Structure 1
Amino acid sequence: MKRLALLAATTALVAGCGQEKDEGISGGGNVIGRTVTVYSLTNDPGGVSRSFVDGEKLALSDAGGKAGDFAVNFNSLDLGTDEEAQAETSRRAINDPQIIATIADATRVTVPLFNAAGILQVAPSGDPGLIDNPDELPSGKSTVGQLEGTVPGDFAARYEQAFNRAPDQNAENGYRAMAATLAAIKTAGAAGNDRTRVIDSYL
């Protein structure tokens, strides 16, 4: 099926160990080239968070694997539940020079790490009190956006066609999170590879 082929082409599920050093944390900056990467950090993406991740995949497929003039890659990592695992996974994403944004719940681990790195964090859930807490924002600027947007009217039918099961609320949230992230990159125009401009576009 053409749609599933596109899903496979635009998705990379990554596993393994993260790096312990913060050499990739540089406080914003530009992604070099015309391809950027959106990271999804969820607990057990192949299990309990599968519907959410599939919703993200469908949104990216609907966008043709692009946001404006930029090609968009998608990497899904297991965030884990304990703080050590969350820190390791977050740093792994940050250390990718192609990262433009992440979709990850707001926790006292993820928020300060992505904030220090100057990377947009779209937080579908988590602790909303962390989003504007100056003690959790080492850069001094907000980098966390809450879930926005809606799903298209035919979302349920197309999700079921693509994944052979009906969508739940998590699937809808995954679609909304990815669609809103792609919209921010597109809104930034020619600066869609500029992490700071993408943050400004979302917020």
Structure 2
Amino acid sequence: MKTDGSGVQILPTWSLSTTGVTVTSPQGVTGPIGIDFKTSATPPSGTNQSFTFVQLLNGVQQKYITGNGVTLVPPTPTVSIDKTYPYAYVYPAETWDTPSAGLPMMNYGEGWETFTATMYLMWDPGIPPSGQSSCTPAKTVQNADGTFTPSTSTCASIPVPLSSVTWHWSGCAINQLVNQSNGTTYTLSTTNGCPVQTLGIPQSSGFPTWSPAS
């Protein structure tokens, strides 16, 4: 299905891959990639249009086990927009994410994090306000120091969703109480109730919605 012959593909296919390699983005940010989002969507040429991304956190939470029992951080899983609106893109129709969790303190018995999110591919036709010849769609740039600089759209049009994908990451560390080859007393695990990492599948299109930050 396409929009009036323009070549904008609705419900494009996604290519998801976990890489674990260190790369440098066009903005000069160097680091490992956790997951790479690519899409087959093809924009029309010769217009002031742009692709953009929005990622919503569906549930992010850490759990720690100590001699005093179980601690959940935060007490209920985080449900919010991820970082900024829109999500920073790497290349047109491609972006990355690298969720992670640090090791617990050495006197903890176990620590894990579970991370579930939905990434949306959005398209803004870049229609200028009445009486203006041009406009700039909203975008977020990741700076070389890792911070983000979002900009507000000056267009009359709004981004529309083309497709989305829900995905999950998790990590679990068990304290073995003896030194390990990694230089700590912790080992990674997917047993003993630890969450298991999985990748999602494409979802039907729909507008991302979230509550304002409190």
Task: Identify the structure with the greater strand proportion.
Answer: 2
Higher relative contact order (CA 8 A, sep 6+): 1
Same fold (TM over 0.5): no
Q: Please give the TM-score of this superposition, normalised by the length of structure 1.
A: 0.24
Larger Rg belongs to: 2
Task: Identify the structure with the greater helix proportion.
Answer: 1
Q: Please give the TM-score of this superposition, normalised by the length of structure 2.
A: 0.23
